[in-house]
Amino acid sequence: MTLVYIALGSNLGTPIENLRKSLEHLSQKMIIKDRSKIYEAKPYGGVKQNNFLNAVILVETNLTAQKLLSVLQNIEIKMGRVRTIHWGARIIDLDILLFGDKVIQKDNLQIPHTELLKRAFVLIPLSDVHPQMLFEKKISEWINLIGDSKDVWLTGESW
């Protein structure tokens, strides 16, 4: 079994319900070990849209990274995600952040996630479930280096 960190995000429909529903789907395919608090964040990438709700979960799975990617993409499709605009609005976004201690560089899958250290909306919830060192720095140090943590705040929503 491998420990995997997955980022969840939503800003269409009822985002809190989308996060909850995606967690239900995920729990049918793997063991949910821990989950972050739920955060609201300004959109990333310059596309005008609603704020996102974001979270990170820790799961345990016996799936390969490639098979897990397929499972996540199928959940996104099942929930109604349509890929139109890069960094655009979405009903659900599920990204593999870390897959055990593996480094994977394929056309359709990069682990650790290539944008991980650039996004406070991922690092802040990740720090809830993975408070240790990440690439020889504390996660809080990575967050301070980004400097956009003011664009991410706790919602008070619960799972």
Which residue type sits at 30? Answer: M
Residue of 85 and 110 predicted with greater confidence: 110
pLDDT mean across residues, the chain: 91
What are the pLDDT digits (tens) for 141-158? 888 888 777 889 899 888
What are the pLDDT digits (tens) for 2-46? 999 999 999 999 999 999 999 999 999 999 999 999 999 988 767
Per CATH, is 2-154 categorized as 3.30.70.560?
yes
Whole-prediction pTM: 0.92
Which phi-psi region, left, alpha or beta, contains residue 45 (left: φ > 0; alpha: ψ -120 to 50)?
A: left
Which residue type sits at 92? Answer: I
Residue 55 and residue 35 in contact, taking contact as beta carbons nearer than 8 Å: yes
Write out the catalytic residue numbers.
81, 90, 93, 95
For the chain, the structural domain boundaries read: 2-154
